[in-house]
Amino acid sequence: MSAEKFDMGNIDIAWCPGCGNFSILDVLKDALSELEIAPKDLVLVSGIGQAAKIPHYLKTNFFNGLHGRALSPATAIKASNPSLTVIAESGDGDMYGEGGNHFIHTIRRNPNITNIVHDNMVYGLTKGQASPTSRRGFKTGVQINGVVLEPFNPLAVAIGLDAGFVARTSITDKELTKDIIKQAVEHNGYALVDLLQPCPSFNKVNNYKWFKENTYRLEDSHDPSDRDKAFSLACKKDKLPMGVLYKSQEKPSFEENISAGPEPLYENRLDTDKLDSLIQSFA
């Protein structure tokens, strides 16, 4: 399948020139077409932010909801129709800030969805405030003396919660990013992809060069089932390891656990005989 089937043609894209989102969009299209997913069987779910606009630039079904809320509808969409491929994709502010509570509980719930977080360590759409993953000392118009909070560590949190699939990549390494997205989509259960992304407009510190210099690919010998190892890798601050850090043992997904069955709920028709006998039981 060619990536063109996801193309929107000549459209006005609202991202700044040089933004990492463009490459993410390209890589995503490639990954999806290599996985042979048809646009009509895919739902992209996003919140609000620059990253969250991604569904608008891709020919597919989408649910572009509220700031921080991508994971809740994504979970429900997958549960309501398990045959759909569901990807929740948004920024670090959206997923880890406003959506922090849902991030935690979605991991616990383990729906079979892929969660791609464009992690540019800044709020883009609201013009450059600190995000939960901004590094200490990062100066903005609001954090005028620099960020004093410890950055949120999504990977350590996800591994701590025994998430099924936990990966980090950077758009500065397109090949790895594509490979990881494909693996994440194929994983049965919740899969986190923390995708480092430069924001040339508002994050002058963590730029393209910084990501290149401060990340490295995990060796092939890394055993993602080793949770202790994965946790210590996730806690590394000097240089950031990229790759699939952690994969838990196979466990049932949310949809399997609540035994929705494979049929979409829109085909679920009320069994009036059953309801009638339930009603009669109150007599």
Partner 1 sequence: MNALRDKNAGVSIVLCGQAGQGIQTVEKLLTSILKASGWNVFATKEYMSRIRGGTNSTLIRAGAGPVRSFINRIDVLAALDKSAGGHLAKRISPHTLIMGEKEVLEGFGDKGSFFEAGFSQAAKDLGGKVYANTVAVGALLRLLGIPAEKGKEPLEKFFAGKSDEIIEKNQQALKKGFEMAEKPAEDFGAGLKLSGEPDVQGKMLVNGAQAVGLGALAGGCNFISSYPMSPSTAVLAFLAQQGGQFGLLAEQAEDEIAAVNMAIGAWYAGARAMITTSGGGFALMGEGVSLAGMMESPLVMHAAQRPGPATGLPTRTEQGDLELALYSGHGEFPRIILAPGTLSEAFSLAKKAFNLADKYQVPVIILTDQYFMDSYYNTETFSLDGLDNSPHITETDKDYLRYRLTENGISPRGVPGFGDGLVCQDSDEHDEQGRITEDLELRVKMNDKRLKKLEAAKADYVQPSLEGAEDYENLIICWGSNYNIVKEAIELSERGDTAMLHFSQVYPTPEDALAAIKKAKKTAVLENNATGQFAKLLKLQLDFEPDEKILKYDGLPFAADTLSEKINEMF
Ligand X SMILES: Cc1ncc(C[n+]2csc(CCOP(=O)(O)OP(=O)(O)O)c2C)c(N)n1
**Chosen from ligand SF4, partner 1, ligand X, none, partner binding at 41 (C-beta under 5 to 8 Å by type):** partner 1
**Chosen from ligand X, partner 1, ligand SF4, none, partner binding at 131 (C-beta under 5 to 8 Å by type):** ligand X
Rounded distance, CA 243 to CA 261, Å? 33
β-strand pairing of 240-247 with 165-170? antiparallel
**Chosen from ligand SF4, ligand X, partner 1, none, partner binding at 105 (C-beta under 5 to 8 Å by type):** partner 1
Which is nearer to ligand SF4, 24 or 161 (by Cβ)? Answer: 24
Rounded distance, CA 24 to CA 109, Å? 27
Residue count, binding to ligand X (CB under 6 A): 18
- Beta-carbon contacts of 34 under 8 Å, excluding residues fewer than 6 positions away, are 1, 178, 182
Contact (CB, 8 A) for 93 and 47: no
Which is nearer to partner 1, 5 or 204 (by Cβ)? Answer: 5
Residue count, binding to ligand SF4 (CB under 6 A): 11
Residue among 73, 82, 42, 85 nearest 60 (CA): 42
Per rule CB under 6 A, is residue 102 in the interface with ligand X? no
User: Using CA of residue 252, residue 223, residue 176, residue 14, what is the dihedral sign?
Assistant: positive
**Chosen from ligand SF4, partner 1, ligand X, none, partner binding at 15 (C-beta under 5 to 8 Å by type):** ligand SF4
Cβ 55 to ligand X, closest distance in Å? 13
Phi/psi of residue 235, nearest 5 degrees:
-85, -5
**Chosen from partner 1, ligand X, ligand SF4, none, partner binding at 200 (C-beta under 5 to 8 Å by type):** ligand SF4
Contact (CB, 8 A) for 211 and 238: no
Positions in the binding site for partner 1 (CB under 8 A): 14, 39-41, 43, 45, 48, 53, 55-56, 59-66, 69, 72-77, 79-81, 83-84, 101-102, 104-105, 258, 260-261, 264-272, 274-276, 278-280, 282-283
Task: Concatenate the DSSP letters of all residues of 102-160 into one string.
Answer: HHHHHHHH--S-EEEEEE-SS-TTTTS---TTPPTT---SSSTT---SPPP-HHHHHHH
- Which one of 118, 178, 187, 247 is in contact with ligand X (CB under 6 A)? 118
Per rule CB under 6 A, is residue 46 in the interface with ligand X? no
Which is nearer to ligand X, 78 or 118 (by Cβ)? Answer: 118
Per rule CB under 6 A, is residue 192 in the interface with ligand SF4? no
Rounded distance, CA 79 to CA 1, Å? 27
**Chosen from partner 1, ligand SF4, ligand X, none, partner binding at 90 (C-beta under 5 to 8 Å by type):** ligand X
Binding site for ligand SF4 (CB under 6 A): 15-16, 19, 21, 50, 120, 124, 199-202
